[in-house]
Structure 1
């Protein structure tokens, strides 16, 4: 699709169409989901830029990683590809970058547990898990919907929800489950995923999942092997839920998920395709999340209480493979070996208490969410590997009040957060012998305001302004001049959004439906502590400014033909202290994704997806040519005889074998070439 066609959609920013259904009970700016005729549900009736990838689409896309799954969301970029350890998530130009898998400006949660936020050199986002464990992935873009989840969030929030036993038993006592087998031609990849669900009685349910994913080295569109693209990851999920009380007002949910990879003789640098200067390592990656949530939801609009206790634990152990680095035997090698011979561990314990109350005061209806968050992040000391140790204790209070006055909705949000960092080892400057303080404290008050107006004819407009601060993190500990400056500074960001949506049916033909939503955004980041001037190791940027347009649309006929559109156009600028500027190195590309499909009830779904990307750059900042990728997908659900309960899915990704490098990826890491995928699922 020509990019001038995508830019022409700016004129449509004030349109969106849909048919609302039940409101969500998740915290944040609470909107209403829209069931569209296409593959994806869109949000309607909210100022929040929110996209939900449900279980149906998770299965439909047959993705190898969660990052690979959500790069179809407007403004989201998958950085450095197709492996769990190497791929990173960038939203609106923030998140994963060409050096670290995280810049603290996006938050990732699994059942409420905070994961994937460590700044590890040349390692991906650490969202190290398997898509088969999840029933839903929610992407919140920008700052305005982030105040219930953290501070310093500029790009957005990724929230993953694991599967439930009731998904397989229908919510009634009994036994259920599913078995999925999947094969991928490129790299001879295969997956087996087993779900076993049991509800012994009303109010008790149990689920076990085991998934094993194996992939060999992929080939690009030119038929060349993509180095460092093979992996093998066993994953598991155990989940239990108990509902009790006379009216079932009490519930207690436990979930534990884990993914492990034991890789031998692989490059340390996960962004590259070979060992390079760092050489190869034996790497064990072990990530686990454990969550216990209590909910009290009586027959009262004033009480919907949740207590979520989570623990996230990640270990990455490296052992250098002798002889694999060209620097071995040189004076530089002793400094390098500390990086590639390391044992790293990151533990995050968090308790979130929140209550949602709905009430009316005069002419104003309130939907009020208030909460308290206590968090401790504990990191083992590994200074030689660029990961200083210590603890970070945080206390936060947040409140979000969605107030409706007739056709107007006003939603103020506030978050106060206090942080205390304590070093694991004394901070002593080796050159001067000066010992610095062992603990540092800081706090911040941040918030935003969202406005929406519903014209009552399917058209609504919205806008928001949000301000956030990123408090210093454990990675800012150190004795260098850069570390000393950053530890006493909070990074600040402001985001403005403006958009509209329109809903309607029977527009061009009887029984048709259309959903169209557009959002303009502008973000300014200053007092920067996470990005240095290009070519510098100690001078931070003065500020970063980004802006763009996001568009999501779905149109469907009563007969089953549908069309989905997702697009993003934007750019960014980074400003140096001296007054010079350059293109923002992490800006998302201009991208349009168009899907044309046809459904025959629930039995058959055929679709053709075209993804065109322009204004691309690689990890070194060099321009890349535009790319167009075609993907074909088919789903068949027979409902007769012994085949009832089966699903057959077939996909052909990059059907024309396009040879290209993904936006912000390393020049040597090309995208996979033509890939045939087939999966068979049997539910019981």
Structure 2
């Protein structure tokens, strides 16, 4: 199916929703579940989770918006579609947050764009493992953490006694007048050995608006998504196949993370007309994101030492940008007049988990091997160089976004030993990363005399990890993890260049690995029957610290150590001395039959050794460290009516610890931000009796229409009040 054009692939998936209708027998009597609403996620060591109930309650339009409700996780960028990325524990670069969708690694590092294009309506669960403490994934990234996203399957939607069903859902958001609709059909054989789900979602909106009613021009949302997922079981084997497709299109600034668009001059409006004058400031963008995941699991019940997973994944993100024909300028630094970008991640992995005992010790031995191939193809045409042979007559790869390939071969072994109340886990992983450059078509950026060298580079090394959990009592546990790992320089960092004769023109093939030593430790408390016989209280506290060495940055400011000679062909990137981030998280949840509550708090700080512009200068704060954030939820449930409702609060401190407080700190930085408090309301209803097939949801964001600027939004004002409604019916 990947051979089809993006539009045909998406239409094919949507048509499969109808084709899946007769997959099984007629539905039995539908039994609807009780309303499931909790004050927060049940804390686990070093992790936070977003459940299907949380997704329904939030009614978010993007994955970063969902994750922004977790402690230590923040949305970076604007609210514009395609302009959002993730920040975890002060790590905000795309390569620092590893996103895994149905086992498939997802990567999109295009300059000043969002990094996650996944429709929330297709998701059943998200788990965030904070810090670089997982051995299951390759080391090229993930210093901030790993985000594992699982899509829905038929079992999530089938009710007890059902073998077939269909779900229709519609939604409306008041701020941008967004309308959305989704349709799902699903079924399973009577013995549950085979199931299938086909789902499609459409979103359409106008521009987002600030609290004063002012619109963010070109922030419209036009997105289609589809999911086809099936699984079948044969003996001790289970096969799962999922295909996810997302497509968006619309007018957008090249820098999707930015706020306002520059206003056309009176002369431009007089010459081109108002609509065309505005469009000359932006471009038409098509984004297509697809993910294929095929998994075989073999787990014989009588052989606990054999729990085998074999998986193949293929994920692609394509983006095509085109400026209006009336634009004669070249824009070579922002994609030219037309550009094409494709990121592709293919991965094959074999993992086995063996459980056995020796005397008083219980073992879980996990071993695995992985192959990951990351490719990036880029091309642009810029009219500015249409007659320049030195710039290949305008057809070339953007010098700041080179094409290339990065291949990773890795293997790991992890052993967990449990004796009584104590579990010790040790792990070691080895990776070899080979990075291949693609010579630029333009001689201006492919000149050996200027230091342009596109030959391959290779990095390899070990990553040891150690963890412990001690269950002091049935209600209290302590845990700690320490990890040392690394990442190889990216394709950008290795092969981005400038033209010969500039201050730092050369490729950066001599870069060292970026390394990190990370600690996290904490405690977990869980207790039942605290205020009533049926309630449950959970609490988690985590301390963390990350020490990064040889961090990779562009060469700005002080080019070489004062007093030393400057080489004639200086590389565009360099390794810096490093930085550290540290902080604390608190997360608590309480749930009972009739009420629920939750509260979380995250605080962190960070310091560079020197600055990004001058590594030999005064220490400066880390730019990507988010301000302190507290999230609170309080609500009530009326199970007999299928109703729950509550309040959500977000309290964010000011951020004035920015690099700008230090001379020669950074070439770019976020402005200081003020603190703010936001309030919201929500309600969910699941019909009973004759209305049992119907459900509805209400959520109000920014209830008091507070005007505020999130720190990681780079000075862009957030949207005003937004009333969100949803209605669903089962057929």
Band of TM-score, shorter chain: 0.7 to 0.9
**3-state DSSP of counterpart to 1:588:** coil
**3-state DSSP of counterpart to 1:60:** helix
Deviation at residue 236 of structure 1 after TM alignment = 0.4
Whether the 8 Å contact between 1:151 and 1:468 is mirrored in structure 2 is no
Deviations 1:80-112 (A, max 9, x none): 23344101111111134xxxxx1x111001101
1:377 to 374, 377, 380: 374
Match of 1:18 in 2: none
Give the Cα–Cα distance (whole angstroms) in 2 for the partners of residues 570 and 679 of structure 1: 36
2:61 to 56, 64, 74: 64
Deviations 1:535-564 (A, max 9, x none): 9875654211111111110123x4522210
Deviation at residue 637 of structure 1 after TM alignment = 1.0
> What's the TM-score, normalizing by structure 2?
0.81
**3-state DSSP of counterpart to 1:595:** strand
2:709 to 649, 656, 661: 661
Give the Cα–Cα distance (whole angstroms) in 1 for the partners of residues 47 and 300 of structure 2: 28
In 2 relative to 1, CA 306–158 (structure 1 residues): closer, same or farther, beyond 3 Å?
same
In 2 relative to 1, CA 355–170 (structure 1 residues): closer, same or farther, beyond 3 Å?
farther
Q: Quick check: 1:670 aligned with 2:717?
A: yes
Deviation at residue 399 of structure 1 after TM alignment = 2.1
How many residues matched?
Answer: 626
In 2 relative to 1, CA 483–74 (structure 1 residues): closer, same or farther, beyond 3 Å?
farther
Give the Cα–Cα distance (whole angstroms) in 1 for the partners of residues 545 and 650 of structure 2: 25
In 2 relative to 1, CA 37–122 (structure 1 residues): closer, same or farther, beyond 3 Å?
closer
In 2 relative to 1, CA 187–338 (structure 1 residues): closer, same or farther, beyond 3 Å?
closer
Deviation at residue 616 of structure 1 after TM alignment = 3.1
Deviation at residue 626 of structure 1 after TM alignment = 0.6
Greater Cα offset, 400-409 or 490-499: 400-409
Give the Cα–Cα distance (whole angstroms) in 2 for the partners of residues 150 and 297 of structure 1: 28
Whether the 8 Å contact between 1:381 and 1:424 is mirrored in structure 2 is no
1:469 to 461, 486, 497: 486
1:306 to 305, 309, 312: 309
**Structure with the largest fraction of helix:** 2
Greater Cα offset, 276-285 or 213-222: 276-285
Q: Quick check: 1:575 aligned with 2:609?
A: yes
Match of 2:453 in 1: 436
2:240 to 219, 233, 253: 253
Q: Quick check: 1:679 aligned with 2:696?
A: no
2:321 to 318, 321, 324: 318
**3-state DSSP of counterpart to 1:41:** coil
Q: Quick check: 1:609 aligned with 2:648?
A: yes
Mapping 1:225-264, distance limit 5 Å: 225-245=215-235, 249-264=236-251
1:206 to 196, 203, 207: 196
**3-state DSSP of counterpart to 2:156:** helix
User: Who wins on radius of gyration, i.e. which is larger?
Assistant: 2
In 2 relative to 1, CA 409–534 (structure 1 residues): closer, same or farther, beyond 3 Å?
farther
In 2 relative to 1, CA 39–450 (structure 1 residues): closer, same or farther, beyond 3 Å?
same
> What's the TM-score, normalizing by structure 1?
0.86
Q: Quick check: 1:280 aligned with 2:282?
A: yes
Mapping 1:534-545, distance limit 5 Å: 541-545=576-580
**3-state DSSP of counterpart to 2:466:** strand
Q: Quick check: 1:269 aligned with 2:255?
A: yes
Match of 1:179 in 2: 168
Match of 2:590 in 1: 555
Give the Cα–Cα distance (whole angstroms) in 1 for the partners of residues 186 and 216 of structure 2: 39
Give the Cα–Cα distance (whole angstroms) in 1 for the partners of residues 223 and 399 of structure 2: 25
In 2 relative to 1, CA 294–441 (structure 1 residues): closer, same or farther, beyond 3 Å?
same
In 2 relative to 1, CA 485–474 (structure 1 residues): closer, same or farther, beyond 3 Å?
closer
Deviation at residue 381 of structure 1 after TM alignment = 4.0
Deviation at residue 169 of structure 1 after TM alignment = 2.5
Whether the 8 Å contact between 1:532 and 1:540 is mirrored in structure 2 is no
In 2 relative to 1, CA 315–293 (structure 1 residues): closer, same or farther, beyond 3 Å?
same
Deviation at residue 397 of structure 1 after TM alignment = 0.4
Match of 2:663 in 1: none
In 2 relative to 1, CA 381–228 (structure 1 residues): closer, same or farther, beyond 3 Å?
closer
Structure 2 residues not aligned, in runs of 5+: 1-34, 264-279, 380-396, 499-503, 560-571, 659-667
Give the Cα–Cα distance (whole angstroms) in 2 for the partners of residues 483 and 167 of structure 1: 53
Deviations 1:494-525 (A, max 9, x none): 11112111121233454432111010001111
Pick 1 or 2: higher relative contact order, CA cutoff 8 A, min separation 6.
1
Match of 1:520 in 2: 543
Match of 1:194 in 2: 183
Match of 2:435 in 1: 421
In 2 relative to 1, CA 146–183 (structure 1 residues): closer, same or farther, beyond 3 Å?
farther
Deviation at residue 54 of structure 1 after TM alignment = 1.0
Give the Cα–Cα distance (whole angstroms) in 2 for the partners of residues 591 and 156 of structure 1: 18
2:632 to 567, 585, 594: 594
**3-state DSSP of counterpart to 1:610:** strand
In 2 relative to 1, CA 530–483 (structure 1 residues): closer, same or farther, beyond 3 Å?
farther
Q: Quick check: 1:406 aligned with 2:455?
A: no
Give the Cα–Cα distance (whole angstroms) in 1 for the partners of residues 409 and 574 of structure 2: 31
Match of 1:157 in 2: 146
Give the Cα–Cα distance (whole angstroms) in 2 for the partners of residues 143 and 605 of structure 1: 37
**3-state DSSP of counterpart to 1:660:** coil
Give the Cα–Cα distance (whole angstroms) in 2 for the partners of residues 107 and 652 of structure 1: 31
Deviations 1:24-68 (A, max 9, x none): xxxxxxxxxxx9982433244xxx411111111111100010110
Deviation at residue 284 of structure 1 after TM alignment = 0.9
Give the Cα–Cα distance (whole angstroms) in 2 for the partners of residues 214 and 637 of structure 1: 26
Whether the 8 Å contact between 2:139 and 2:486 is mirrored in structure 1 is no
Give the Cα–Cα distance (whole angstroms) in 2 for the partners of residues 255 and 283 of structure 1: 27
Deviation at residue 305 of structure 1 after TM alignment = 0.6
Match of 1:394 in 2: 408
Match of 1:459 in 2: 476
**Structure with the largest fraction of strand:** 1
Match of 2:670 in 1: 621
Whether the 8 Å contact between 1:61 and 1:69 is mirrored in structure 2 is yes
Deviation at residue 615 of structure 1 after TM alignment = 2.9
Aligned-residue CA RMSD (Å): 2.5
Whether the 8 Å contact between 1:261 and 1:286 is mirrored in structure 2 is yes
Give the Cα–Cα distance (whole angstroms) in 2 for the partners of residues 487 and 639 of structure 1: 66
